[in-house]
A and B are shown apart, each in its own frame.
Chain A
């Protein structure tokens, strides 16, 4: 675990430093400028899907889907970040009780 934590932290720092240090034209190509902002969009969406609708290697539909629905409503209502998280976690916890 430690190795992954430290390598990932180093990689994230190196990316920040690269942006400040490398000649700007290296990173200003149209392809990079177009692709890099799309990466977080695709990765965050894939993270949402896989961590909500799967368990191990199986696709499942459980209380986490309801929790995501509540989070979506909170986001659409422009709730603060912490409210979105608490609403989602609370939904999952309550549904497991009933």
Chain B
């Protein structure tokens, strides 16, 4: 189990390298970049925030999108709370580690004690490698004069695609992804920067909630 957790953590460290590089070339300082990985610690939200800032959107549009992407962690928390049985101060520490990878590792176990161990070991290793990768990636690129030379402006969409791909195997998510991309582009020329994302989020919320009634 430790080996599984370590391989997940090392893979995420490589992914964090690209986050560090994208973040500093998007206009965030080294310290802001490191703070995002330490404090936010949820990949898709971090990529979205720096990607939006890097493409000319406001940091508040980025913050709103990051929070919307973080809503899934609340559902992970619900599934984990019965497994982890954390109370008091432990819960505040455990909450920081409630992300895709730790949830996947914890719910894949048969015994509750194994689930707890998988959650904490994956969380701790991933946190270490995620922040190390971020720091190295940020240091390596913070001195670059123009991120376009390395094509780093094309990196965030590739990162979103890699994050999105596992969800697209079923027909409904694929259709929603296509529609969301199209709607965002259609309204982009007419609304403030960042607003297309909020429009898409509102539409998918209506779709999801109305779908329940069918």
Contact = CB atoms under 8 A, between A and B. Distances in A.
Given A36-B72, A82-B18, A52 B157 contact: yes
Contacts of B96: 13, 16
A4 B157 CA distance: 21
B105 to A, nearest CB: 16
Contacts of B173: 38, 41
Interface string A58-98: 11000110011001101100001110111111111110100
A39 to B, nearest CB: 6
B33 to A, nearest CB: 9
Interface of B is mostly: helix
Where chain A touches its partner, the secondary structure class is helix
Interface of B: 11, 14-15, 17-18, 27-29, 32, 35-36, 39-42, 44-45, 48-49, 51-53, 55-56, 58-60, 62-63, 65-78, 80-82, 84, 86, 91-92, 94-96, 98-99, 148-165, 167-168, 173, 176-185, 188-189, 193, 196-197, 200-201, 203-205, 207-209, 211-212
